[in-house]
Amino acid sequence: MVMGFNQRWVGSPEYVQVCGDTDQVVKTVQQAVDAGQRVTVRCGGHCYEDFVCDNQAGVIIDLSPMDGVYEVEPDVYCVEGGATLWNVYNELYRKYGVTLPGGSCYSVGVGGHVTGGGYGLLSRLHGLTIDYLYAVEVVVVDQAGTAQAITVSADSKGADERDLLWATQGGGGGSFGIVTKFLFRDAPAAPSTAWLLSQTWDWNALGHEGVGTLIKGYGEFLKANSQPGSELAGLFSLLHLFQNTAGSPGIALTMQYVGTQPKLLGETVDLIGAPAGARAAPVRIGAHQASLVTGSATSMPWLFATQTLNGSGPDRRGKYKSAYMVDVFPDNQIEALLTHLGEPSNPNPAALLQVDSYGCQVNAVQPSATAIPQRSSIMKLQYQTYWNQAGEDGPNIEWIAGFYEAMYGAQGPRPDATMDGCYVNYPDVDLHDWEYLYYKDGYPRLQRAKARWDPNDVFHHQQSVSLPGQKEA
């Protein structure tokens, strides 16, 4: 049996094959195809839904030994498909002084992270991870059922090959093949220092009106400071809105700034217009800072900061949903937030809505340039709830589903003047029309790449790209 980060998912494959190089991946895929067995792939094990473990009598390929990070030619860096984000940050920084704008959860595997777009604390300053993806080595299976490794790049002469690269730039994992190597070009210089600040507020001291003011002010601040070229591009913020229940942390704003003016970090709490009188006591930020004075920033080496703001937490049972926003929270959504977080039907101190800053350099790229079309948003939302026992599944899933529907209706956050769909790397099998919510008008191009490179649908899961004329697996 196998289990990933989300302990709801326990699999019973025929076997797990640990692969140390590309040749082993090709051989394992070929054996599975010849035996008529389904193939799924694991590197970090952080998939929110049961796309990997749910492979009864199939073959799970584990890429974890393939964790190399190295320069292959000047300014071109290879990251193997089993590496974690910590491998990437540590090796690129220590050996070459560069980095990639990836996620805050350093134990996440790059295989899923990059194919779903790649996003993190440096993205407002440098864009998405895929914006630097130049080429991939990928194991595919042709119409005759033959597995082989091919390399495609931005310089490939064939349109089909360039489409496959485009599909790996945000088209999601598990649809086209197994990426064994990612090649990145022109990676940005790594910062040497990061400034951090965290501030908390108490729900009851703020009251519903104060919480609503804070949420609205946060959105208005990001709307005013998320354009490409903003002087606050180096600022990344996470607003954690926990339920108002016993044991809850309340409301917490955590920020990281990389740049030359850390004073901007201390001003941000006031700039969002949050009521000052309800601020809670100073809070800790990781092991490198004993205490933090309210409203002031502390500095630490950037590489340490990549661990300090780790957002994955312990392995538990969980459910997640997502949304992009191109404008501030409208009044009806603020009312839904106040109801489902302030007066929850299923009180749980580990249930929250996380509102991340977005935009700036992410939005400097054209929507069609990659398979991630959300290139005008100012915030990205992640709905989360965690629990420990299987008997708690129903109430938690019901709570988050009701909250989400109250925010967006049964069709989810469809793109309009306020919303811009969902993030494929926060997969949610409850979504209606997930193809459009994740990919908008780019989905047909993904289907053409699927037909060309995986015509037998060897690589599939509940939300994999379907062959033209077919619905999802």
pLDDT given at position 357: 96
**Residue 322, phi-psi category: left (phi > 0), alpha (psi -120 to 50), beta (remainder):** beta
Could you give phi then psi for residue 92, rounded to 5 degrees? -65, -40
Same domain, 283 and 229: yes
Q: What is the pLDDT of residues 363-401, one digit of tens each?
A: 999 999 999 999 999 999 999 999 999 999 999 999 999
Residue 47 included in any domain: no
Q: What is the pLDDT of residues 5-32, one digit of tens each?
A: 777 878 889 999 999 999 999 999 999 9
The encoded tokens of residue 432 equal 């209606």
pLDDT given at position 151: 98
Same domain, 204 and 162: no
Order of strands, edge to edge, in the sheet holding 379-387? 298-301, 193-201, 251-257, 235-242, 351-357, 379-387, 317-325
Same domain, 308 and 370: yes
Q: What is the mean pLDDT of residues 326-342?
A: 98
pLDDT given at position 472: 46
Residue 428 included in any domain: yes
Share of the chain above pLDDT 70, in %: 90
Same domain, 117 and 226: no
* 175 in Cβ contact with 460 (< 8 Å): yes
Share of the chain above pLDDT 90, in %: 77
Residue 455 included in any domain: no
pLDDT given at position 276: 59
For residue 425, give its domain range.
193-432
Domain boundary among 157, 190, 223: 190
- Which residue has tokens 């108490």? 202
- Which residue has tokens 């591009």? 233
Same domain, 94 and 208: no
pLDDT band at 291 (very low <50, low <70, confident <90, very high): very low
CA distance from start to end of the chain: 23
Q: What is the mean pLDDT of residues 322-345?
A: 98
pLDDT given at position 248: 92
Number of other residues whose CB lies within 10 A of the CB of residue 140 = 22
pLDDT given at position 310: 66
Q: What is the mean pLDDT of residues 433-440?
A: 98
Order of strands, edge to edge, in the sheet holding 147-153? 69-73, 76-80, 178-185, 133-141, 147-153
Residue 55 included in any domain: no
Residue 402: exposure state from Cβ atoms within 10 A (0-12, 13-18, ≥19): middle
Mean pLDDT of the chain, nearest integer = 90
Same domain, 165 and 213: no
The answer to whether residue 285 scores a pLDDT higher than 60 is no
Domain count, the chain: 2
* 121 in Cβ contact with 236 (< 8 Å): yes
Could you tell me where the beta strands, DSSP code E, fall in 228-364? 235-242, 251-257, 298-301, 317-325, 351-357
pLDDT given at position 282: 38
Q: How far apart are CA 413 and CA 431, in angstroms?
A: 10
**SS3 letters for 191-226?**
CCEEEEEEEEECHHHHHHHHHHHHHHHHHHHHHHCC
Which residue type does 458 have? Answer: V
Range in 9-18, 27-36, 303-312, 407-416 with the lowest mean pLDDT = 303-312
The SS3 of residue 32 is helix
The answer to whether residue 356 scores a pLDDT higher than 80 is yes
- Model's pTM, two decimal places? 0.93
Range in 56-65, 107-116, 188-197, 274-283 with the lowest mean pLDDT = 274-283
Residue 18's H or E segment, with its range, is: strand 15-18
Same domain, 356 and 369: yes
Residue 52 included in any domain: no
Same domain, 159 and 210: no
Domain boundary among 169, 190, 211: 190
* 265 in Cβ contact with 197 (< 8 Å): yes
Residue 453 included in any domain: no
Same domain, 214 and 157: no
Same domain, 166 and 249: no
Nearest residue to 154 (alpha-carbon basis) of 181, 138, 175, 133: 133
Between 45 and 63, whose confidence is greater?
63
Same domain, 104 and 239: no
Same domain, 280 and 150: no
Q: What is the mean pLDDT of residues 108-122?
A: 95
The answer to whether residue 62 scores a pLDDT higher than 80 is yes
Cα dihedral sign for 54, 60, 61, 64?
A: positive
Residue 334 included in any domain: yes
Q: What is the pLDDT of residues 167-178, one digit of tens each?
A: 999 999 999 999
CATH number, residue 250: 3.40.462.20
CATH number, residue 129: 3.30.465.10
Q: How far apart are CA 150 and CA 220, in angstroms?
A: 46
Residue 416 included in any domain: yes
